[in-house]
Amino acid sequence: MIDGAMQPFALTLDRFLAHAAKWRPTSEVVTAREDGVVDRIGYGPLMARSRRISAVLAGLGVKTGDRVATLAWNTQAHFEAWYAIMGMGAVCHTLNPRLTTDDLAAMVLRSGATLAIVSADLSGLARKIAERVPQAFRLLVIDGPADGGAVALEPLIAAAADGFPWGQFDETAPCGLCFTSGTTGAPKGVTYTHRSSFLHTLRALQVDGMAISGRDSLLAVVPMFHANAWGLPFAAPAVGAKLVLPGRNADGASLARLIRAEEVTVAVGVPTVWLGLLEHVEAEGGEVPSLQRIVVGGAPMPPALMARLEARLGVVVQTSWGMTELSPSGTVAAAGDPVRAAAQSGRPAVGVDLMVADAEGRPLPQQRNTEGHLYVRGAAVVERYFGEERPAVDADGWFATGDLARIDDEGNLSITGRAKDLIKSGGEWINPAEIEAVVSALPEVSLAAVIGRPDAKWGERPILLVELREPGGLTDAALLEALTGRVANWWIPDEVIRVESMPLAATGKIDKLRLRAVYAAPPGAPEP
């Protein structure tokens, strides 16, 4: 007996843009430029341009499997470069322009990239990177004129041949390389494959996920230089949604203007971005009537901010959890859930499995309503870091996220802290996330962070850092009083430090490495 067979349809990412170009050719990719001008192009002509860029790269010697760096903002030109690199079978190594030059040079050295596609206003940074790496490092400039020996990409596109072939490689081939944010430790490289990102996209599009459709106008504020921009550059063309890119302008006024002009229905980014939008609308007035949903992740959502967003903007806030190693989405709170909370990050979609374990990685006998160390496995979860021979997972495929978490009876995930952030005081553990959750819920508080400071008697003691909405807000006593009865008395921080602006990593997370460097020295120690 001869079984039937299905077609060998490779799950490669170029198919998303090809689908949009054929079936939604006039649906737009919109970019807000620095000068206030808005660029727009349909998926059909955009794919033609992107394939010409592939021809340019091939003419410069780029081959299947080569790594091509990008150092750019959320723009049409960056979007085109993504598909040009990935479509020809090369690997798109996104560089975060908010990292130090030395860190970026180390990443380029490790990846072996010899060519970078760079936003014009970042070309100076790119040249500094080039000075620090031994390999030849050529620069192609987008979104502005080239200088200092770099080459403008636009004239090369105009001269390139049409119809460069895409997708002639295996679906398990690598397509992307991103280094972790490094807010709690040294960055590690995560390699994405076409198959993993394709399956990740299908999960994100589900009704109980991000639920993006061809009727949406999608604003991607989450940066394209980190963690696949949460997969939005794949999800939007997969359904033919209008994709709105803000360039480098993510301030409240710019976002409000863009949301109104482009009738944005779904907006995605970290909580601090939406705090800026909210404060602009509260101060200046006006509405964003088209906006229906805001998807947040990358950092804890303060309950007070979630309530203010939903009340003032009339939106549904969907919390989520993920990490670079998960491509990056792990769980999303469905918009239709009758009960939603800022502390809950929703359920995993099919293709992702979660487990809570003890400190040695042994599964807890009770998987519901018990705090434990969070493990994850799935088709879009890292197995081994870039350049490392040793697997990053255990024998059963479980990846240790470094998060502490609870899963409730309905399967909703709540991240309760980071294992590396735990403070050991007098031999007992203090969880900063629980303190932060209480303080962040105060309406007067914009952001809060708790770190440990060395203590001669107790080993470590917690200190509280806060950024208040108004400089003359709550007293230190009132901030600490809010913790009474909510956490153990010995958990209450020894000191409150007010910061004018909380230091943030490029992904929007509070940068605790920087906070520790500045504030964690014991009393009387010299300043760093």
Q: Which residues are catalytic?
A: 180, 325, 424, 429
CA gap 265, 268 in Å, rounded: 10
Q: Which two tokens stand for residue 181?
A: 């944010």
Dihedral, CA atoms, 79, 223, 229, 304, nearest 10 degrees?
Answer: -150
3-state secondary structure at position 74: strand
Q: Residue 144 gets which letter from DSSP?
A: S
HEC string of 327-364?
CCEEEECCCCCCCCCCCECCEECCCEEEEEECCCCCEC
Cα→Cα distances 258→7, 74, 86, 305, 339, Å: 43, 14, 29, 21, 31
143-146 long-range Cβ contacts below 8 angstroms, 24+ apart: 143/33, 143/72, 143/73, 143/75, 143/77, 143/78, 143/119, 143/247, 144/119, 144/120, 145/120, 146/120
- What the block records as the tokens of 512 is 């605790």
For residue 223, which of 126, 330, 336, 324 has the smallest C-alpha distance? 324
Q: What's the distance, CA 125 to chain centroid? A: 22
In DSSP terms, 424 is beta-bridged to: 429
Beta bridge partners of 244: 30, 219
Helix locations, 356-475, DSSP H: 432-440
Q: How far is CA 213 from CA 33, 228, 232, 262, in A?
A: 26, 19, 12, 16
